[in-house]
Structure 1
Amino acid sequence: MTSGSLTLFHRYEGVLRDAALDFPAHQPLPDVLRMVADAKYAVYYAPFDYLNAAAPLVLVGLSPGRYQALVALETARAELLAGHGADTAAAAAKSAASWSGPIRSHLVRMLDFLGVAERLGIASTAELWTTRTDLVQFSATLRYPVFAGGKNYNGGGVARSALLLDQIDTYFATECAALAHALFIPLGATAQFACDRMVASGRLDADRIVAGLPHPSGANAERVAYFLRQKPREALSAVTRPEPLDAAREAALRHIARWRP
C-alpha cells in the first residue's frame, strides 16, 4: 500500500477489528465509517486501499457498491483477527471484493475475448482473482463506496459534484501516478471520464487507455453480448446503438494485440 493509503487503513483498523459491530445491519454502512458527505452524496470507508504498484494491468470501475463493501469489510476483519498484518488484510479484502458477484464472470468473458489473458500469459483472466493477483490493480473512479440517498451511486452527475471530483483527484490520481507504466481498462462511461480527466491533467498517457468498453453489469447485458459478438445487430433493441460498440471493440482488439506487458 502507499503510505497515504496505509494511514487511512490504520485509521479504521479498530473498527474493522470490532467483532461486535455488525456491518450488514447498518444502512448503507455504519456511521463510524462515514468519511465525508454533502447534501447529495455520502462516502464511506471500506478497505479498498491496497495498491499493487507493479501490476501491468489496471481495471477501472465506478465505485464499490454496498455488497462489495461488505465483502471487503468482512474479509479484512477475518484477516486481522487471524493475526495477519495490515498489508495482507488489505490485499485480501480488495481481491475478494473487487468485481465480486455475477459481474465478475461477465468481466472475465470480455477480457478473455479481447485477448488480455493471452497477453498476460495465463489461461483466463479469472486467474487475476485467484493465483495471479500480482498482475492486476483493481481500481475505481471512486475508490471508496459512495451512496446517494442511501443507495449505491449510479455514476450520474460526477462532473458537477465537487465532492466526487475531489475523491477522483485524491485517490484515483494517486493510483494513476503509481501505475503510469500499466495498461488502464476503464469500464463504463464514468470510469472513462475519470481516465480522460487524468489524461487532461497530465497524470495518464492516453495511449495506455483502452477506451469505450461497456460496463459488465447485468443492466448492460445486451450491450455486452453485442460487444462479444454473441448477439446480432438485427436482434438489438432500440436503446442499444451498435456503432459505438463496434468502434470500441475493434479499437480494443487492436490495442490489446500490440500490448506488451
Structure 2
Amino acid sequence: MVTAIKNLKIGMSKDLVNLEPLRIKQDGSLSCYYIPFDYITKNAEVVLVGITPGKTQLFNALCSVQNSLEKGLNEEEALRVAKNEGAFSGTLRNNLIKLLDHIGLHEKLGISSTAGIFDKDAHLVHTTSVLKHPVFINGKDYSGSTPNMLKHPLLSEMIDAYLMEEIYQLPKAVYIPLGPKVSQVFEYLIQKGSLEDHQVLFGLPHPSGANAERIAYFLGNKARESLSIKTNPDLLDNAKREILEKLSLNFN
C-alpha cells in the first residue's frame, strides 16, 4: 500500500475519488480506505482510541508518507512519522492535548505536556481507533452512530481484525476511549475479558470541536449554571473523578 500512496495524486480537494487504489472495503453507502497507521508503539503505556480517522487525518497521513519518501526515509520510518503527524490531527489534537494535560496524564508519564506524545515523547503513547482505517458514509466521516459498530458485519469485523490485534500487542497499557461510542465498544471488550476495567479510563469528552461546551466544562472554563440542557455536568464530574482515580491506580 505504501507504494500505491507514493504514486497518488492527492491534490487539495480531499476528494475520495482520487483514493480509489486505497479503498479496501465497500458495503452499500459505507466505504473504508487504507490509512498508513500500521506503526505500533510497542512499549506504550497509554493507548488513545478514537472512533475512526476522518478525511483530515487520512489526507494528512497520506501527504506525510509522500513527503517522507521524497526525503528518502524507509517505509517503516515513513509510517512512524505518518502516525505522529496524522493521528488526531487538526482541531482534534489541540483539544485532546488540553484534556489530557488537565487530567494530569503528562505528569504521570513524566513529561512537560502531552503535546510531546505526537513528537519527542511518542514512544510513551500509542494512538489508534476502534475502526483503524477510515470509514465513510456516502463519502462523509462516520460518526459512530449509524450503523452500530458492534452490530454491522463489516465494522465488527474491523474491530476483531485490527483493534483486537493491537490490544493483543499492548495487553497491559491504559486505554482512553474518546467519546461514548468508543466507550461502548470498550465496555463490550471488558465484558468479553479482553481488558480489565481498571485499564480503561471512561468518560473523557470527545475532542471534536462540535463538543466544545462539554470540553469547556470539563476543563473548568465554563460554569455549571451557564451550561445548556445538552450538557450533563454531573456525568462529566463523575467521569473526571473516576478517571483521576484510575490514573492513580495505574500510575502509583
TM-score (norm 2): 0.94
Q: Deviations over 1:167-215 (max 9, x none)?
A: 1111011111111111101110121122223222222222100011110
Pick aligned residue for 1:130 from 106, 110, 119: 119
The answer to whether the 8 Å contact 1:62/1:190 transfers is: yes
Q: Give the counterpart letter for 1:79 in structure 2.
A: S
Find the counterpart in structure 2 of residue 193 from structure 1.
Answer: 184
CA distance in 2, matches of 1:231, 1:25: 36
Residue 75 of structure 2 is matched in structure 1 by 86
- Once residues 254 and 207 of structure 1 are traced to their aligned partners in structure 2, the CA distance between those partners, rounded to angstroms, is 9
Which residue of the partner structure matches residue 36 of structure 2? Answer: 47
- 1:149 is aligned, of 123, 138, 143, to 138
* Contact 1:159 1:165 (C-alpha < 8 Å) held by counterparts: yes
The match for 1:21 is 9
Q: Is 1:97 the counterpart of 2:119 in the alignment? A: no
Q: Secondary structure at the match of 1:185?
A: strand
Q: Distance in 2 between matches of 1:45 and 1:258?
A: 37
Tell me the equivalent position of 1:250. Answer: 241
Give per-residue Cα distances to partners, 1:41-83, cap 9 Å, x unaligned. Answer: 1000110111111100100111110111001011112212322
Deviation string 1:96-131 (CA, Å, 9 cap, x unpaired) is 011111221111111111110001001110111121
Aligned residue in 1 for 2:195: 204
CA 1:209/1:77 → structure 2, altered by over 3 Å: closer, same or farther? same
Q: Would you say the 8 A contact 1:117–1:123 is kept in 2? A: yes
CA RMSD of aligned residues (A): 1.5
How many residues in Structure 1 have an aligned counterpart in Structure 2?
A: 249
Residue 16 of structure 2 aligns to a residue whose secondary structure is coil
Contact residue 28 and residue 151 of structure 1 kept, 8 A: no
1:58 paired residue among 41, 47, 50? 47
CA contact (8 A) 2:116 2:122 kept: yes
Aligned match of 1:6: none
Letter aligned with residue 188 of structure 1: G
Query: Are residues 131 and 22 of structure 1, via their aligned partners in 2, closer, same or farther at CA, if it must alter by over 3 Å?
Result: same
Write the letter of the residue equivalent to 1:254: E
Distance, in Å, in 2 between the alignment partners of 1:68 and 1:259 is 30
Aligned equivalent of 2:215: 224
Query: 8 Å contact 1:186–1:210 — kept in the other structure?
Result: yes
SS in 2 for 1:35: strand
Work out the percentage of aligned pairs sharing the same amino acid.
Answer: 36
Equivalents in 2 of 1:234, 1:103: separation in Å?
26
Is the Cα contact below 8 Å between 2:106 and 2:113 reproduced in 1?
Answer: yes
Distance, in Å, in 2 between the alignment partners of 1:23 and 1:205 is 44
Question: Following TM superposition, by how much is the alpha carbon of 1:24 offset from its aligned partner in structure 2, in angstroms?
Answer: 4.4
Match of 2:173 among 182, 185, 196: 182
Shift of 1:259: 2.6
Deviation at 1:85, TM superposition (A): 1.6
Q: What is the CA–CA distance in structure 2 between the aligned matches of 1:26 and 1:68, rounded to whole Å?
A: 11
Unmatched 5+ stretches in structure 1: 1-11
TM-score, with normalisation over the residues of structure 1? 0.91
Q: Which runs of 5+ in 2 are unaligned?
A: none
Contact 2:51 2:181 in 1 (8 A): yes
SS at match of 1:195: helix
Could you say which residue in structure 1 is the equivalent of 2:156? 165
